[in-house]
Each structure stands twice: as C-alpha cells, then as structure tokens.
Amino acid sequence: MTGAGLDDHVAALRELGDGDGEVVADTRARVRDSLARGRGAARPAGWLVAACVLAVGGVSWGFATGRLPEIWRGAPPVVEQAVPAPALPEPPPELPATRASVAVPAIAAAPAVATPPPPIADRAAVPAPSRYERAYQLYFHDRDYAAALAALDDYLAREPRGQFVVEARYNRALCLVHLDRLADAAAALAPFARGDVAPAGYRQREAEQLLEKIARRANAVNGAP
Amino acid sequence: MTVSLLAWTAVAAPDVDDDLVTRLRAGDRDAVEQAYVAHHAAIRAFARRLVGDPATGEDLVHDTFVALPRAIRGFRGDASLRSFLLGVAVNHARRHIRSAMRRRRATEAMAAQQRAGGAGAAADAGVELERRRLADRLSAALDELPLAQRAVFVLCEAEQRTSVEVAAIVGAPEGTVRTRLMHAKRRLRELLEDVR
C-alpha cells in the first residue's frame, strides 16, 4: 500500500466535494417532486398513526388485564396534574411600552420590540425557580431593568457555567441599554458583534446594529457629523 | 431617547436568510427551492465527504432539503441557516452512511476482481485513481467511528471549519467537539496504519 498519512487521506476526501451541473439539477428536481408528493409532511403523520395505534393497543391491553390505574378506569382525570407548568414562561412577543415612551409620544409610536432572545437551551430542563428565571421576571413582568441587571450579574457570578450564560450576557447588555449606560452596553455587546461568543454568530447582527446606534448617538451628543 | 434605543432590534434590516426562514416557517415551497439554490453546494460537499460516496451523498442532500420545511420549526436563529442545514444533514446521515458502506464494499470487491484479472494495471498509475483510493480508504476507516465523531472529523478536517462553527452545527459544546475530534483522529490513525 502507500505511505500516505492522515492528512493525505483528508486531502483526497476533500476532493469529493463538488457535483456537476446535471447532478445538481437532478437532485433539485427530486426535492421538488418529493415536496409536491408531500413526503416532507408525511413522516410525522406516519409516526402519529403509529403512536396512536400503540396508545390504543396499550390502553386496550390495560383494560383487558386490569392493569390500568384506577384513574384511567372511570374516575374523572385531574386536569391540574395532567398539564405540568413550564419551568419558564414563554417570552411575550413584544416589550411593553416604558415610562419613557409616555414622555416622548412622537418616538413612542415606533414599534418597540427589543425582546431578549429566548434561551438557547431547552427551558423544560431548568429547575424552577432559578436565578435566571428571577432575572427574566424582573425584566419582563416588573420592567425593573436595574434589578434585572443585578439579577443577571448574580446569575453570572454564581453560575458561570450555567445553562443560560450566553443569553444572560446578551440580556445584560439589553438591560444596560435600557438604563442608558451606553458605554457599558457597548462593552458588553462588543464580543457578540465580533462573533466571539459561542454558539458562533449568536445575536451578532443585532449586536452590531446596537453598537452602530450607540456610536451614532455618541456622535450626536458630541456634535460630530 | 431610551425609546429609540428600545426599538433597535426592531429596525434591524432583515437579511436574505431571515426572510427565507420566515417563508420556510410559513410553509412556502418556493422557499425550499431558494434555500436549495443558496446552500446546495455546501450541503452537497459535506454530504459527499461525510458518507464518502457521491451518489449516496446526493440522496442525503435530497433528504436534507425535503426535511427542511419540518425541521425549520426547530431553528432558533442562533446560527446561520447553512449551519442549521448541515445539522439537519448530520441528523439524516446514519441510513445513508450504511448504504454508502454497502456500496463501497461492493465496489471494492469488483475492483479486486478486476485487479486479479490484470484489467486495472494501467489505471493504477493515475493520480486521480490514487486520490480516489485514499478517499475510499479514509471513508472505510470513518465507517468504524460513531456518527458523532465522524461528522465532527469531516466538518473540522475535511471542511476546515472552526470548532465554534462545528459546535453550532452539531449542537454540542465546543469542548465536546474538540474531544470528539481528538478521539476520531487517534482512531483513524490506528485504522489507516493497520491497512498499510
């Protein structure tokens, strides 16, 4: 055999990448056909049917063998037990108007939706009430940005490897914006704008736009063109 | 002043992907075509390298885009649409890897028969053939790895993506990506050493 090392093999594998025009067009047509036949949507329905069959079969077996719990065999179900409360509330679609928006009606007409991003991680996995949830409540329900900032700082200090660290850092920057601490906000947003925060590109575009606004605002305050 | 700052994220000009994602979520089938046009080359290159066979790679490209209208519900916007599509491809790869493995074994058996008959002697000198043989040998070694390590190896080494990017694609922490890569490389070196 050859004396090629791993790098040579990888270089050869790299060459496999391109496809010719005919193949590209063929696959595109296949994708179109499959979607037209509803293949993309067919699979979940298939799973649903299978799940229903299993559920019906299981319940029938339970009735037949008398192994179903009492509650399933006649007693009315307890709704409160059937629907577990989520660990974190869903974020409201829009940020409610602030005190400042009342003071400046002309600007308040603009759509204000600086909604902090939802957490990256699965919310159901978060034990409630968590420090992050407390900050979330302060931000959304109490609109107390100073307290939310303190809560986020507390969360980041106590759980530096916590599940919502990235979201907490970004939302902390939003709190600073709300509090008009623009220099601090700019510093907090800079790593997001540079794309230095994992996962790559998280809120990068929004951070860049916020930084541009901060720069424009600073120029306006300083009288620069 | 505070109010204008609050509206910052709202006035952000949506880029092409944002618009595309919105349309995909709304079930717009033309949006899938548009996504195909924009991203097929990257997905195809990855699919072929991952499964190690162009024809099976094409099937994986097909499945990735067909799955997109449903999969897009899980798109959180914290990575690019292309990264998301690569992740969808990884999730659909298992079946195709098995299929490529069977195809590769059949091809190897055929090639062995040809070599035994002397038919391959002239072609053996070709650079292209040698390259193809190296790629096949690496793909066969990759068959011995778990899918998670295989995907990370292809993304990091063959595609030369950063561990941050790969972490976003496979949905694992960056440290996990680096560990998987380390294990994959170590195992591949052993496997390739064995076949020399």
Q: What is the mean pLDDT of each run of 10 residues along chain A (225 residues)?
A: 77 78 84 80 54 67 59 44 36 33 31 50 48 78 85 87 80 87 89 78 79 81 63
Q: Torsion over CA of A15, B35, B73 and B42, rounded to 10 degrees?
A: 10
Please tell me the distance from the alpha carbon of residue A43 to that of residue B71, in angstroms, as a whole number. Answer: 12
Residues 89-118 in A contacting B (C-alpha not used; CB under 8 Å) = 95, 98, 100-101, 104, 107-108, 110-115, 117-118
Asked whether residue B186 carries a pLDDT value surpassing 50, the answer given is: yes
Q: State pLDDT tens for residues B123-176.
A: 444 677 788 888 889 999 999 999 999 999 999 999 999 999 999 999 999 999
Instruction: State the pLDDT at residue A86.
Output: 34
> Which residue shows structure tokens 């997905």?
B43
Q: Do A205 and B15 touch (CB under 8 A)?
A: yes
> If pLDDT is split at 50, 70 and 90, which confidence band does B4 have?
very low
Residues of A in contact with B70 (CB under 8 A): 40-41, 43-44
Taking residues B56-78, what's their average pLDDT?
Answer: 91
Write the DSSP string, B87-113.
HHHHHTHHHHHHHHHHHHHHHHHHHHH
Instruction: State the pLDDT at residue B180.
Output: 95
Q: Which amino acid is at B171?
A: G
Please tell me the distance from the alpha carbon of residue B162 to that of residue A217, in angstroms, as a whole number. Answer: 35
Substitution target in B60, B78, B186, B187 with the highest count of A β-carbons within 10 Å is: B78
Q: Closest partner residue to B134 among A4, A24, A108, by Cβ?
A: A4
Instruction: State the pLDDT at residue A49.
Output: 62
Residues of B in contact with A41 (CB under 8 A): 69-70
Q: Between B107 and B134, where is the model more confident?
A: B134
Mean pLDDT of all residues in chain B?
Answer: 82
Instruction: State the pLDDT at residue A19.
Output: 65
Does A13 contact B at CB distance below 8 Å?
Answer: yes
Q: State pLDDT tens for residues B72-103.
A: 988 888 888 999 999 999 999 998 998 888 88
Instruction: Tell me the nearest-neighbour CA distance from A129 into chain B, angstroms.
Output: 24
* Contact between residue B143 and residue B93 where contact means Cβ atoms under 8 Å apart: no
Does ipTM exceed 0.95?
Answer: no
Residues of A in contact with B157 (CB under 8 A): 10
Q: Do A110 and B3 touch (CB under 8 A)?
A: yes
Q: Do A199 and B2 touch (CB under 8 A)?
A: no
Instruction: State the pLDDT at residue A134.
Output: 79
Residues of B in contact with A119 (CB under 8 A): none
Asked whether residue B187 carries a pLDDT value surpassing 60, the answer given is: yes
Residues 121-180 in A contacting B (C-alpha not used; CB under 8 Å) = 177-178, 180
- Chain A residue closest in CA terms to B67: A40
Q: If you count them, how many residues does chain A have?
A: 225
* Contact between residue A134 and residue A128 where contact means Cβ atoms under 8 Å apart: no
Instruction: State the pLDDT at residue A79.
Output: 40
Q: Which amino acid is at A133?
A: E
Please tell me the distance from the alpha carbon of residue B71 to that of residue B86, in angstroms, as a whole number. Answer: 12
Instruction: State the pLDDT at residue B51.
Output: 93
- Chain A residue closest in CA terms to B190: A6
Q: Closest partner residue to A177 among B5, B154, B174, by Cβ?
A: B5
Q: Do A178 and B2 touch (CB under 8 A)?
A: yes
Instruction: Tell me the nearest-neighbour CA distance from B156 into chain A, angstroms.
Output: 11
B174-195 and B127-142 are packed helices; what angle lies between their axes, rounded to 10 degrees?
A: 120
Does A8 contact B at CB distance below 8 Å?
Answer: yes
